Amino acid sequence: MGVEENKVQKEIMDFVNEGGLQKKYPPVNFAVLYRIPNKGIKGRKSTLPDGYPDLQGGVTIKGISVTSYVEIKAEGKVCKNTDQLEFLMSERANGAIAFWCNSLDMFLEKIEPFIISLTQSLCRR
């Protein structure tokens, strides 16, 4: 992971882990993101599936927690890795929040529809 990608990752993790989602979206009760070290032990391949994203965590709305996966790219870069894109698409199909982004602004733009959809579906219960 390059310096620019690390910068984007830190900015997003700081925002989420310091309560930014709860402040921006009051229905969110809790949110956390962790960096996933995906390097294998020296001489061995990683035990994570191909395409596993940089960040994993969860978002809780009205007591319901949803797993989240975020693949980070450097500003201006796009996700072209088919393993990563397929992993994210598969997890979304299984009900997770899963996407790639290259800035905090893009993170917020992409997570908002998930939060709105979850909030609306939980309010109907």
Which tens digit of pLDDT belongs to each residue from 42-68?
Answer: 665 667 888 999 999 999 998 889 999
Q: Report how many domains make up the chain.
A: 1
The pLDDT, as a whole number, for residue 121 is 83
Q: Are 9 and 54 in contact (CB under 8 A)?
A: yes
State the residue range of the domain holding 22.
3-123
Find the angle CA(84)-CA(86)-CA(88) to the nearest 5 degrees: 70
Q: Are 17 and 52 in contact (CB under 8 A)?
A: no
Q: Are 5 and 13 in contact (CB under 8 A)?
A: no
Task: State how far the Cα of 20 lies from the Cα of 1, in Å rounded to an integer.
Answer: 25
Task: State how far the Cα of 2 lies from the Cα of 24, in Å rounded to an integer.
Answer: 29
CATH of the domain at 65: 3.40.1350.10
Which tens digit of pLDDT belongs to each residue from 4-34?
Answer: 999 999 999 999 999 999 999 988 999 999 9
The pLDDT, as a whole number, for residue 120 is 87
Instruction: Give one DSSP letter per residue of 44-99, joined into a string.
Output: S--SSPTT--SEEEEEEETTEEEEEEEEE--TT-----HHHHHHHHHHHHTT-EEE
Which tens digit of pLDDT belongs to each residue from 95-121?
Answer: 999 999 999 999 999 999 999 998 888
Q: Is the pTM of this model over 0.95?
A: no
The pLDDT, as a whole number, for residue 39 is 63
